[in-house]
Amino acid sequence: MLFEHKILETVIDQAYEWIVVVDHKGTIVYMNKNYCDFLGKKKEEVIGKHVTEVIENTRMHIVVQTGQEEIADLHYIQGNYMIANRIPIWMDGKVIGAVGTVIFRDTNEWKRMNSHIKSLLPQLQTYLQEWKEHSGAKYTLNHIISVSKQMEQLKEKVKRIADSDISILIRGESGTGKELFAHSIHQLSSRSDQPFVKINCGVIPEHLLESELFGYEDGAFTGARKGGKKGKFQLADGGTIFLDEIGDMPLHMQVKLLRVLQEKEIEPVGATKTINIDVRIIAATNRPLEKMIEEKLFRQDLYYRINVVPFFIPTLRERPEDIEPLIHHFLDKVCKRSGKRIRSITPDVMDILRRHIWPGNIRELENVIEASVYFASGETITLEALPEYLRTTGVYQTDGKTLKQLLEEAEKQIIQQSLQRHHFDKQKAAKSLGISKSAMYEKIKKYGI
C-alpha cells in the first residue's frame, strides 16, 4: 500500500499541470513538485501555510468559501498570466477544501493552442454549413416537449419505425407538431446523413407544383431557367421528402405522385426520359382524407400508399398535462431570444392558460407566451399581458354547448383576430396560423366571416 502511495505521489508530482490542494480554511495541504519548483519553494515550506501567503492573486480561499468552481480563469503570477482551474471539494454536503490546477503555464501556451483550434474552425464551420444545407432537418425528439402518456408512446413509436423505409402519414390538427415528428423520424433513420427536403403542397400554386416536385428541363416552358432545374424529389434523392399538407394536393398531381411511389422514378417537365430516385415519403395533413376520398377529392390508392404507418398526434386539449411544461419551455425560449427577464406567471394567468381549450394547439400557445413576454411590464406575466381574447373569454362557458360548438366558437374568434392583425390579407393570416390558404378560405366561408 505504501509503495502504491509513493507511485501515485510521484505521478502527481511530475504531472504536466501544476496542482495545489487546500483545506476548508484555505490552508495548503498539498502542492506538487512542478508547482513548488516554479514558485522556487520546497514542499515543507508551503504545506501548512495559508494559500494567500504562497500564491499571489490566488482565489483558492474564496472558492472554499463560496463553493463555486472557477474554470479557465486568468491568473496573474510572477509576471505572467496563467490559465487556472479551481474546484471545490464536497463531502457530506459541505465544502472540505479545493483543488487548483494550472493547465497552461503562461498565456503563450494558450495562444498556441488557441491558434491551432482557430485554424481548424473554418474547416469545421464549412463542413457544418454544408451538412446543414444538405440535410435540412433541424429537430429531434428532444424538441418535442411532453410528459403525457400519449406523446411518450408516439415518441417510442418513432424510435421503432424510424430506421425503416416505409411511408408514414402524420395526422393531426394545425399546430400539434407534425413537422417536428417528421424531422425526428428522419434524424433517427439510416438516411439521417442524407437530405431532408420539405415541400408544403398547400402554398405552392397548382400550375407550379409539378415543376417544384419533379423539376424541369431546359426550355420546358416560357421563363424556364436556362439549363433546367432539379425538383424536390431529385434534391431529396437518398434521403427523405416531407410532403406537408398533402390533403391540398390537386388530383392530377396525386396521380403523378402515385406513379413515383410505385415505380420509384420521376419525369421532369419537358423531359423525354425518366430518372430513378430513392426517397422515403413522410406526409402530413390536418384534413379528413377519408371524407375526401368519398367526395372524390383524394385518391384512395394514394391514401393506402402513404398511410402504411399512421401517426395521430393528439391535440393539446387532449393532453392538458403537457400545457405547463410547454409554457415554461416557450417562456425560456422567448426570454433568451428577446433578452427580457420573466421570473414568474401569476396564478390567475396560469389558471387561464391551463383551462383554455387551445384550438390552435401548441402554435397558439407559443404565440400567446411570446406576446405575453413582450407585453409584460415587469418580471411577471400578469393578466394585463395576455392577449385580449384570453382576458375577455378566460374560461369558456360550457353550459349547454357541445365540445364541437366550443371549438368552432374559439376557431372563429382566432381566425377573425388573425385576419384583423394582418389587415385581412388571407394568405398572411393563414401562414401565421399554420394552415393552407385553401383551408383559410373554407373556414371563412364556414363561419361567414
Q: pLDDT confidence of 3, banded at 50, 70, 90?
A: very low
Does residue 224 carry a pLDDT above 90?
Answer: no
Residue with the larger pLDDT of the pair 327 and 437: 327
* Per-residue pLDDT reduced to its tens digit, 298-307: 999 999 999 9
Least confident of 103-117, 289-303, 391-405: 103-117
Q: pLDDT confidence of 202, banded at 50, 70, 90?
A: confident
| Residues 171 and 311: beta-carbon distance below 8 Å | yes
Least confident of 215-219, 292-296, 319-323: 215-219
* Per-residue pLDDT reduced to its tens digit, 164-173: 889 999 999 9
Report the pLDDT averaged over residues 82-100.
Answer: 90
Residue with the larger pLDDT of the pair 322 and 117: 322
Report the pLDDT averaged over residues 215-237.
Answer: 81
Does residue 123 carry a pLDDT above 50?
Answer: yes
Report the pLDDT averaged over residues 377-391.
Answer: 88
Q: pLDDT confidence of 400, banded at 50, 70, 90?
A: low
CB under 8 A, 24+ apart: contacts of 62-71: 63/87, 63/88, 63/98, 63/100, 64/22, 64/23, 64/24, 64/25, 64/26, 64/88, 64/95, 64/97, 64/98, 67/95
Does residue 223 carry a pLDDT above 50?
Answer: yes
Least confident of 206-215, 366-375, 387-396: 387-396
Whole-model pTM: value is 0.61
C-alpha span between 47 and 335 (Å, rounded): 49
**Residue 409 Cα distances to 291, 314, 358, 389, 416, angstroms:** 23, 20, 12, 12, 11
Does residue 394 carry a pLDDT above 50?
Answer: no
